[in-house]
Amino acid sequence: MQTLGGKVQCCILPDGNLIEVEMGQVSFDAARIPVIGYAGDVVDQPWVLDGTEYRFSAATIGNPHCVLLLDDVSEELARRLGPRIENDPRFPNRTNVQFLKVLGRSNIKIEIWERGAGYTLASGSSSSAAAAVAHRLGLCDREITVHMPGGDLKIALTNDFHVTMTGPVTSVCSGTIAKEAFTVKDF
């Protein structure tokens, strides 16, 4: 599939209930994300919001992410801090925000604020970025289950942070598209 972040290879696994997606390579480089005011990799940096110091890492896998490592995460926190972080001037293209709690060497939990969309129940690129950050910080191994309110995804990372994501196939709707929808009209 062609995406704005480049080509991604998808594979329906033999049982037909799981899809594996080659998501690309995560980068922490400020220039590639982009993040203004930083040089090189943006990993485990301080950020003070409302008098509280947080630690954040920035990443891209075709779209920008800001991952905050926390002792606990919640929808309320994502809704409260997400919009402020998304629109912070250090992210000229705005950013997706993940609130990350490490549950163990192979499990993390995230809450997500998606740029332009708001609070989000699940996201493949957010899962990829959060897992890559957890691994980069030495808190998780290379195979990580990401737990989100909308479901779980499995992330596998190579040594150079290429990501393979595996998740369930879930029907979200069915319907019929009228053939007129495919008709090109001159305006």
pLDDT confidence of residue 125: 96
DSSP states of 17-36: SEEEEEEEE-B-BTTTTT-T
Query: For residue 37, how far is the Cα from the chain centroid?
Result: 22
pLDDT digits (tens, 9 = 90+) for 98-148: 999 999 999 999 999 999 999 999 999 999 999 999 999 999 999 999 999
In this structure, of 2-11, 97-106, 110-119, 158-167, the range with the lowest mean pLDDT score is 2-11
Q: Is residue 118 part of a domain?
A: yes
Is 140 within a domain?
Answer: yes
Cβ neighbours of 100 (radius 10 Å): 26
Residue 118's alpha-carbon distances to 47, 52, 146, in angstroms, are 21, 22, 19
Q: What is the CATH number of the domain that holds 91?
A: 3.10.310.10
171 assigned to some structural domain: yes
Does 5 have pLDDT greater than 70? no
- For 90-154, what is the HEC assignment? CCCCCCEEEEEEEEECCEEEEEEEECCCEEECCCHHHHHHHHHHHHHCCCCCCEEEEEECCEEEE
Q: Identify the pLDDT of residue 4.
A: 67
Q: Which of 136, 133, 160, 134 is nearest to 65 (CA)?
A: 133
The pLDDT value given to residue 187:
59
CB 123 within 8 A of CB 97: no
Closest alpha carbon to 149 in 73, 46, 65 = 73
Report the C-alpha dihedral over residues 178, 182, 183, 184, rounded to 10 degrees.
Answer: 150
The range of the structural domain enclosing residue 155 comes to 2-182
Counting every residue, how long is the chain?
187
Q: Is residue 187 part of a domain?
A: no
In a domain, 126, yes or no: yes
Report the number of distinct structural domains present in the chain. 1
> pLDDT tens digits, residue range 43-97?
999 999 999 999 999 999 999 999 999 999 999 999 999 999 999 999 999 999 9
